[in-house]
Amino acid sequence: MNSDQEALEQSALERLDSMSTVPKLQGPIGRVIGWVDTCFLALAVTALVAIAATVLLQISSRLFLPFSISWTEELSRYLFIYMVALSVGVVLRQNRNISVELFHHLLGPRMKAAFQVLICLLTGVFAFLVLPYAWKYAQNGAWQTSPTLGIPMLYIFFSTVVTFALLLVYSLLGCLEGIIAMCRSSASLQES
């Protein structure tokens, strides 16, 4: 029964996202990557919950206090920035980024894997080229502080480094998974 339900879930996932058929890494490496994914998603969800709490605090202070708290808007903005930065790699790995899927369902397993390699390669090259500039941008915040919280802007600007570093790592991982899937697909085609 459990395998039937898993097959139904996989079939539904394939109908929603045809690129999900490219297999992810398995074994101990796959478990470590899954754990890292879970950690990044937990941090992103924590940031989302903190955004909700901050906005509720802001609304409550405007409704029930004689003054409004000024730092809540700034904090919610910074939490949103880090929520996106921390989840960008996992979103890429799970093929949940925005894409136009006009022809993906027409591709065979090898071509889906090759398409994943192409997309991840382009994303990785872009992240690699932008990463040094993101670091320079983050360093600009070393002598600035945020207006109401007084946080050094280095920590806020560093989110660009986190974003492009995670994109680079996860795009390399996506390329590796795509190449392995292409090799497995070609090996399975030769056996039949």
Q: In this predicted model, what pLDDT tens digit does every residue of 101-133 receive, in sequence order? A: 667 777 788 888 888 899 999 999 999 999 999
Q: How confident is the model at residue 189 (pLDDT cuts 50, 70, 90)?
A: very low
pLDDT confidence bin for 15, thresholds 50/70/90: low
Residue 14 has what pLDDT? 56
pLDDT value of residue 185: 56
Backbone phi, psi, residue 183, to 5°: -65, -40
Q: What is the pLDDT of residue 21?
A: 67
Tens of pLDDT along 162-188? 999 999 999 999 999 999 988 875 555
Instruction: Give pLDDT, residue 143.
Output: 87
Phi, psi of 77 (to 5 degrees): -65, -45
pLDDT score of 95 more than 90:
no
- 48-54 mean pLDDT: 96
39-53, 88-102, 139-153, range with the lowest pLDDT: 88-102
pLDDT at res. 24:
78
The pLDDT, as a whole number, for residue 23 is 74
- Of the segments 20-24, 68-72, 149-153, which one has the largest average pLDDT value? 149-153
Using CA atoms in the order 107, 111, 114, 120, what is the torsion angle rounded to 10 degrees? 10
- H/E element holding 148? none
Residue 1 has a pLDDT of 52
* Range 87-113 burial, b when 16+ CB lie within 10 A, else e: bbbbbbbbbeeeeeeeebeeeebbebb
State residue 109's pLDDT score: 81
Q: Please tell me the distance from the alpha carbon of residue 9 to that of residue 146, in angstroms, as a whole number.
A: 46
Reported as a pLDDT band with limits 50, 70 and 90, residue 191 is very low
